[in-house]
């Protein structure tokens, strides 16, 4: 993602953080659907969630995998602040401000599950980002994402 595009997206989500949840009906439904597709809990010890937003899906992950360490990142700092309010304790959830498309993670770090809800459609180069995700996936791990197509939510325009 170009720095200008990255800053523009981050600014938009920073402005929307306080009210985002009340309009995120589709995002909540896709998070609930992703939850139905999650792998067996005993197989998952380390999770990377990209684009955690207000933490709705992060909470599902935390409840489903209480033994796992969850690394959730978002490009919007304000979204992360909102997400922290969702958890009584952040013992197994670690929140970071970062550009998921660039995935600024040590190449040696791998995850049992890499997941994302409604985020990768924002990427300038989705194919390259998916390749990066794959490099951080443990053998036998799961990549589970949802993304919106060109005409998703068009009725809101």
pLDDT digits (tens, 9 = 90+) for 8-24: 666 666 565 566 566 55
Q: What's the whole-model pTM score?
A: 0.79
pLDDT digits (tens, 9 = 90+) for 143-153: 999 987 765 54
Whole-number pLDDT of residue 114: 97
What does the block give as tokens for 157? 């325009």
Half-sphere exposure of 91 (CA within 13 A, CB side): 7
């Amino acid at each position: 993602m170009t720095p200008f595009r990255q800053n523009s997206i981050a600014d938009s989500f920073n402005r929307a953080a306080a009210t985002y949840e009340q309009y995120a009906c589709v995002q909540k439904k896709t998070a609930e659907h992703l939850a139905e597709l999650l792998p067996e809990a005993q197989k998952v010890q380390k999770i990377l969630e990209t684009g955690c937003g207000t933490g709705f899906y992060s909470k599902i992950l935390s409840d489903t995998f209480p033994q796992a360490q969850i690394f959730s990142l978002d490009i919007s700092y304000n979204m992360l602040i909102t997400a922290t309010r969702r958890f009584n304790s952040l013992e197994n959830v670690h929140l970071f401000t970062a550009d998921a498309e660039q995935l600024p993670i040590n190449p040696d770090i791998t995850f049992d599950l890499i997941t994302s809800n409604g985020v990768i459609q924002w990427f300038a180069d989705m194919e390259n980002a998916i390749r990066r995700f794959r490099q951080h996936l443990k053998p036998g791990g799961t990549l589970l994402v949802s993304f919106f197509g060109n005409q998703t939510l068009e009725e809101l325009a």
